[in-house]
Amino acid sequence: MNKAAIEILSRGVGLSMNIYPANEQRIAEVERGRSCNAVLALHPGKSLSAGDSIVFALAYSQANQEPCYVKGGDSVRVILTDVTALEETDSATGDALFQISWEPLGQHRSSNSSTKRLAKWF
């Protein structure tokens, strides 16, 4: 499943999410609280700010191709606490790079946790 299809499906059910590909290791690191930041490329016209949700979804990619999201694959959602423009661009796409941060999963958890697992979301 490609990113365009996922975005169409999420709009159809009233969801507005920023979806980024991730491998199993990355998703596990976020779930265990070992990772709480990332550098992402953002297409022109898109924006991110603190309070926005990001979904890291299981995907596989091959050289020079869009990532292919795994139907029924694992995913994890985080709510951003900080977004910083790096004043740099992705060498492959030319898109602007941003440093994003979120509260580590499993730490400071409450009933209103800012980070949630979305198992088999797609």
What domains lie within the chain, and their CATH numbers?
3-117 (2.30.130.30)
3-state secondary structure of 24: helix
pLDDT confidence of residue 98: 96
pLDDT confidence of residue 107: 67
Pick from 104, 101, 86: nearest CA to 33: 104
d(CA 71, CA 16) in angstroms, rounded, equals 19
**E-assigned strands of 16-102?**
18-22, 37-42, 53-60, 68-69, 75-89, 96-102
pLDDT confidence of residue 111: 45
pLDDT confidence of residue 28: 95
For the record, the structure tokens of 97 come out as 């790079």
pLDDT confidence of residue 44: 87
pLDDT confidence of residue 65: 80
Burial of 28 (0-12, 13-18, 19+ CB in 10 A): middle
pLDDT confidence of residue 18: 86
Segments in the chain below pLDDT 50: 1-2, 4-6, 8-9, 11-13, 111-115, 119, 121-122
pLDDT confidence of residue 15: 52
In the block, residue with structure tokens 């299981």: 58
For the record, the structure tokens of 71 come out as 């139907």
